[in-house]
Amino acid sequence: MKAREKALLGQVGDVDLRLLRVFKAVADCGGMAAAELELNIAMSTISRHVKDLEQRLGLVLCRRGRAGFALTPEGERVLAATDALLRATDTFRGSLHDIHRRLGGELHVALFEKTVSNPAAHVAEAVGRFRALAPTVTLHLHVGTLGMIERGVIDGTYHLGVIPEHRRSDSLAYDPLFDETMLLHAGAGHPWFTGSDARRDWNALRAQPLAGLGYHSPNLELTHARRLERAATASDQEGVATLVLSGAFVGFLPDHYAEPFVRAGRLRAVSPQLLNYGCRFSCIRRHAPAPLRVAQAFRECLLQAQA
């Protein structure tokens, strides 16, 4: 084994961490040209950093050429290891700030999609409170699906998450925040877009092509509870909205998210007093280890903003 390989494998220094961060940015962006804006350095410098890392590791991490950018199998494994290493490094730095009893470092918060338009949600106000309290903390706000957020909080990728409750995990602690109302909607061109809602109830809904979220969620729980069959699924609310707007399906959407489409005459809430269900959104965190001071501070800002 070469001396450089031994040095890297035996002891990882600041230079190696910097090269690994560049490599991760390139992989996440899908190429060196795309990573220029993310890293704010020239592509020639990025290319040199990746080559330096490959030499230090003794591995070819990626292929670049006319066929485009792609990680090699070794590059995929190094990327996974890099994610774990950088996450551990950030956690260590956060722990040092915690030991010194100061609010610093980085904070990763994950938010379920399409909540910003909910007037009952005061996450933005919480961010403002937190920024005033901890101006030196770098806040990373992630938006994702319910399962992604739960997994990320459990494995430590995210310090906190804001999700609609569906089934509680023993690994997580929950703080109720706000509620959301889901209404059944039909798009222009669907038979239920016009006419009377007098006979449009849960029984009648079973005969309609229904679109819903394709993962475990309050939406899926309702489908089972009401014995509804879905004719189409989507990975997020935007996908459900697209299916409903086609006029070929009906589907449940957050009332606040659907409102602009309703005002534009593209969607209509069907039997809103009957065909609806509610979601409770909560802030989630791991039971153990105890949250860092910076995460606890953001949690308190969330609870204060909602109060």
Paired residues of 186 in beta bridges? 250, 268
Look at residue 16 in the predicted model and tell me its pLDDT: 82
One domain for residues 85 and 210: no
User: Is 242 part of a structural domain of the chain?
Assistant: yes
Cβ neighbours of residue 79 closer than 8 Å, sequence gap 6 or more: 23, 24, 27, 71
Distance CA 113, CA 197 (A): 30
One domain for residues 190 and 283: yes
One domain for residues 72 and 113: no
One domain for residues 133 and 52: no
150 in Cβ contact with 265 (< 8 Å): no
Strand bridging mode 106-112 / 172-187: unpaired
Look at residue 98 in the predicted model and tell me its pLDDT: 61
Q: Domain end: 70, 95, 120, which one?
A: 95
Q: Which residues of the chain have pLDDT under 70?
A: 1-12, 67, 91, 93-104
Strand bridging mode 70-71 / 62-63: antiparallel
One domain for residues 202 and 81: no
One domain for residues 91 and 113: no
One domain for residues 55 and 189: no
One domain for residues 86 and 157: no
Instruction: List the CATH number of the domain containing 279.
Output: 3.40.190.290
User: Is 196 part of a structural domain of the chain?
Assistant: yes
Q: Domain range spanning residue 294?
A: 106-307
Distance from chain centroid for Cα 171: 19
Whose tokens are 């791991």? That residue is 286
Radius of gyration of the chain measured on its C-alpha atoms: 24
User: Is 101 part of a structural domain of the chain?
Assistant: no
Look at residue 2 in the predicted model and tell me its pLDDT: 47
One domain for residues 292 and 183: yes
Look at residue 251 in the predicted model and tell me its pLDDT: 98
One domain for residues 131 and 210: yes
User: Is 39 part of a structural domain of the chain?
Assistant: yes
One domain for residues 86 and 126: no
Look at residue 5 in the predicted model and tell me its pLDDT: 45
Among candidates 87, 89, 221, which has minimal Cα distance to 167?
221
The two three-digit tokens of residue 140, written as one number: 């990373």
Instruction: List the CATH number of the domain containing 21.
Output: 1.10.10.10
Q: How many CA atoms lie within 13 A of 1 on its CB side?
A: 11
Q: Domain end: 72, 95, 118, which one?
A: 95
Counted domains in the chain:
2
Look at residue 99 in the predicted model and tell me its pLDDT: 60
Whose tokens are 């189409």? That residue is 232
Paired residues of 232 in beta bridges? 211
One domain for residues 116 and 263: yes
The two three-digit tokens of residue 101, written as one number: 């009893």
Q: Domain end: 38, 60, 95, which one?
A: 95
For residue range 182-209, list pLDDT tens digits in order.
999 999 999 999 999 999 999 999 999 9
Look at residue 13 in the predicted model and tell me its pLDDT: 74
Look at residue 4 in the predicted model and tell me its pLDDT: 46
User: Is 100 part of a structural domain of the chain?
Assistant: no
Paired residues of 106 in beta bridges? 138
